[in-house]
Structure 1
């Protein structure tokens, strides 16, 4: 149930509102099998997980930007329970600005270019937001 909501709600709005009719790519992040199947059925041109560069956190907005912000804010003080940590993460997620998320996504083309120039190796980038 959550997987269906988590995928269909943003994906029904995001591509059109953000990219119009231009080309865009959906990159799943460690998605469960049911989500992967949904993507295959709903995105005929989906790039198979096996075709993405191996171990590429530098190409995943959650890894190169968002997780660090979530961790810094939500874990700024110790939690006594998993429930407390989950609530802190949800609160922090809710405070992420559209501007920040847009800048994170907009950084992707430059990161991809740096990745290609480094022949898939390590590369360094400067924060743009």
Structure 2
């Protein structure tokens, strides 16, 4: 997620275990790289270029075992312009992670649709909900980070509320 777009959505079958190998080969080398290479300046948040200047980003993950695995960390160090090593990541807090707020918006959009009756329909709903989110929504989520960080410090890492 950037202030103007989200990376390609990657759906994982329920029988798939997310190992470091799968994460590197399918998600980092696949979905992430294809998203970083997108060129369109216009379009919905699923198709437009992630950033106007790809030399100015920080790639960050959370603490999932596949993310913290040596193989994944090495891949990121080798292939990404700017990467925060796992020791630099902020605490696992929804208040410090704008994508958590984005997922909340996606969930609200999906709840307005017909109830999905199978996985394929749910995936379609997720894609549809994401494609309807305006780039300005992402800008607001990202630009609100400094304020949320200050509030989190003030709360000594506690929940900052709304």
Task: Give TM class, smaller chain.
Answer: 0.7 to 0.9
Of 39, 42, 59, 2:96 maps to 59
* CA drift at 1:31: 8.4
Q: Which residue of 1 aligns with 2:104?
A: 68
Figure out how many residues of one structure are paired with residues of the other and give that number: 121
**Aligned 8 A contact 2:57 2:82 in 1:** no
Alignment of 1:26-41 (within 5 A): 26-29=59-62, 30=64, 32-33=66-67, 36-41=73-78
* Backbone CA RMSD of aligned residues: 2.8
When residues 93 and 112 of structure 1 are mapped into structure 2, their CA distance, relative to the original with a 3 A threshold, is same
Q: List per-residue Cα deviations over 1:96-118 (Å, max 9, x = no partner).
A: 11111111111111111111222
| Structure 1: runs of 5+ lacking an equivalent | none
Bigger RCO (CA 8 Å, 6+ sep): 2
- Match of 1:6? 31
Alpha-carbon shift at residue 52 of structure 1 (Å): 2.4
TM-score by length of 2: 0.60
The structure whose residues are more often helix, as a share, is 1
Correspondences of 1:78-117 after superposition (within 5 Å): 78-117=115-154
Change (3 A) 1:45 1:87: closer
Superposed displacement of residue 26, structure 1: 2.5
